[in-house]
Structure 1
């Protein structure tokens, strides 16, 4: 008696990414009340700079109390507002976005659509750009939630662009073309490419070559580019962040290609300001039809008037935002270095990163075999025996087993120290149990895989590397 949508399992809730969360919620770590509980390292949340936000709120009681010049605006904010959003808030948002990009690009508030978080923004773009059964290409590894955000209600398909550790998972022209041809063989019409920049889960910014590959591909195939840039303010190390808008401007693309009308940016304040609970997301597009349609659709998930009022006041304080951005980036780098150093002491390496709230961690040498089954087994041991919820690479559709996303900004420094110590003990015991000979053999296999991966994986079929539990 229910709809197919209500009864189907295409949401992706059975992914190990979500299953790990469920186990954490049953047994959450607490330094006093539950010291043997599971530490949540699967949540990309920024809690490192709350004191800066709270300090601003304490000094700006009018904004927090919904007052303007000492007089209440509660009634004004509580009554009906249309879905176009407050002009003052949109003006501050485009100014903030430009600031994060070093004012190398400017944004027009009339081309910005507000909505309740980047989850809604990405889904609405799918509704605007593609029909059910059409496809978007996504480079792997990618954020596990995209299987829900892009596909579940829209019916749009995802075709992976298989990237390899042999070149640090960078996007290549060859990988783009191979993904496109794979979609063609599956009778899927490709409508565009979606990338996260900085990358989730890699924690790295796209370089100029990758951006140029994307631009050339979009021009050649006449498809869209969606650039999810929700981590743009978390770049804490070189190289600097290059927005897709800046890359297009520098490339001096021929206007006759109409590429600008096929470039769309998703942004939110969830990561850069650490305010996921405020549900502030947005789409920025030069395409008037997309802006008009997305604005109408945004009525299903608006940003509250009270939130817009408070944050427009916060963002208008330029001295505060400058201080916040700089200090937050400093703290993220310090915390990331702490995790990398701790993992290194345990004999575990990380991919080089310069942004984000997580590290892409290489645990391939801890696998009993070079398979996704072995990765799942290792993940379960780390979750249930070690008490750490981390995200296995298979949940991110990584084409190589043994990689994990590990978050570092959603906990206290003391909790991170506990997590690192647990990993060290586990790595030591695992190494001792497996023996030097076995480790040497696995490293040899891994090195062989590196040399072969760029040839093997791109020609693999669409579902070859789906995790066993998806």
Structure 2
């Protein structure tokens, strides 16, 4: 079988639904003349309106906002990676600081720093011996003052919710103190990466996921010009091949500066049409796609946890994991399998996984502060292949799981 790749956050579980929808597109609706002219930087109004409606009905749950999502405050961009790259150039000068909670998506270093030359300072959310993930305001303050003490300018914070790699989400009561501190005390931009906002398949009872856009809508003392929000179709709609995302900000200076860069790179007319045909069908999104996507993700998560429970029993080790409720992945603590709890031994374990032809991301690559944690993606293959990868992982650990 070669390598089983459990490292890339793709979702093939809804392949049949998505491709059926794609193949049903009525191309007679496409205005052919759009091929003869340059596209509009930031997206056509029709595309931006589709995204505004999607955010309002699905991300915000149809709640009436004091400040409704205005399509003129949106920019359609070729993926969230591109949005972060552009923000790295629009918001920051070289060596300016972005504060982000960790562990986080490993490519943030590339997205912000390859061209923007941004200095990312991380705030740990994990604690030794615990599976709780906590936003600690004091740690934000400590990181901020350390950077300022070094003569650096802190320009923004990045909040990823739901979070990658642990698959959990923070409640607005957890996020608000951080946002208040950032905006009201230090006039920082708040970049909200909610790329998994419609991939919450097992919400906590009495505490569902809520977009942090609502914080800025509910509190008039928060400067809305500091709000920058993003999501896309790569995760929520399993369409990374379309390379399409959307950025929302009421800050027209930031929006227009970003759109200037989109003269060089942006979605083409055909891609925008496909996006409108797929996510513009709100009945399909609401009744056909999302419920089935959530059901399949939850089943894949449960199958993975059932396997881990078998491994825990067979090994007799204190194998721990964080039960994910969103996204495509699960964080597992293999520290009890390490000869010593160091990042060097974590790297050695990853080498064993590779030697057994299974690819898994280790915590150190995700800016994790505690050795022994690994992220496994359970949606990037169908279950038979995922299970084979987990078996190879178990073999690398020295155990056989049926």
TM-score of the superposition, structure 2-length normalised?
0.91
1:96 positional shift: 1.3
Residue 349, structure 1, aligned to residue 320, structure 2: yes
1:288 positional shift: 1.1
Which residue of 1 is the match for residue 84 of structure 2?
122
Which residue of 1 is the match for residue 339 of structure 2?
368
Separation in 2, partners of 1:210, 1:404: 25
Residue 298, structure 1, aligned to residue 251, structure 2: no
1:294 positional shift: 0.9
Paired residue secondary structure (2:105): coil
Which residue of 2 is the match for residue 338 of structure 1?
303
Residue 315, structure 1, aligned to residue 279, structure 2: yes
Q: How many residues align?
A: 384
Separation in 2, partners of 1:428, 1:76: 59
Paired residue secondary structure (1:234): coil
Which residue of 2 is the match for residue 51 of structure 1?
16
Residue 242, structure 1, aligned to residue 210, structure 2: yes
Residue 398, structure 1, aligned to residue 368, structure 2: yes
Q: How large is the Cα RMSD of the aligned pairs?
A: 1.8
Which residue of 1 is the match for residue 232 of structure 2?
268
Separation in 1, partners of 2:290, 2:73: 24
Residue 193, structure 1, aligned to residue 195, structure 2: no
Which residue of 1 is the match for residue 53 of structure 2?
95
Which residue of 2 is the match for residue 210 of structure 1?
174
More moved, 210-219 vs 268-277: 210-219
Residue 379, structure 1, aligned to residue 347, structure 2: no
Residues 133-180 of structure 1: per-residue CA shift (max 9 Å, x gap): 110001110111001001111111111112223462311111111111
More moved, 420-429 vs 227-236: 420-429
Structure with the bigger percentage of helix: 1
1:390 positional shift: 0.7
Does the C-alpha gap of structure 1 residues 78 and 333 become closer, same or farther in structure 2, counting only changes over 3 Å? farther
Paired residue secondary structure (1:283): strand
Larger Rg: 1
Paired residue secondary structure (2:41): coil
Alpha-carbon contact 1:336-1:408 (below 8 Å) kept = yes
Alpha-carbon contact 1:136-1:158 (below 8 Å) kept = yes
Separation in 1, partners of 2:102, 2:163: 10
Residue 182, structure 1, aligned to residue 146, structure 2: yes
Alpha-carbon contact 1:367-1:378 (below 8 Å) kept = yes
Alpha-carbon contact 1:270-1:280 (below 8 Å) kept = yes
Which residue of 1 is the match for residue 316 of structure 2?
none
1:266 positional shift: 1.5
Separation in 1, partners of 2:253, 2:34: 31
TM-score of the superposition, structure 1-length normalised?
0.78
Separation in 1, partners of 2:84, 2:20: 32
1:248 positional shift: 2.9
Residue 159, structure 1, aligned to residue 121, structure 2: yes
Separation in 2, partners of 1:95, 1:355: 22
- Gapped regions of structure 1 (runs ≥ 5): 1-34, 432-470
1:383 positional shift: 1.4
Separation in 1, partners of 2:227, 2:131: 26
More moved, 325-334 vs 209-218: 209-218
- Gapped regions of structure 2 (runs ≥ 5): 313-318
Residues 33-86 of structure 1: per-residue CA shift (max 9 Å, x gap): xx2x211111001111121122223333x2xxx322xxx633433432221422
Paired residue secondary structure (1:95): helix
Which residue of 1 is the match for residue 315 of structure 2?
none
Separation in 1, partners of 2:295, 2:93: 43
Does the C-alpha gap of structure 1 residues 253 and 170 become closer, same or farther in structure 2, counting only changes over 3 Å? farther
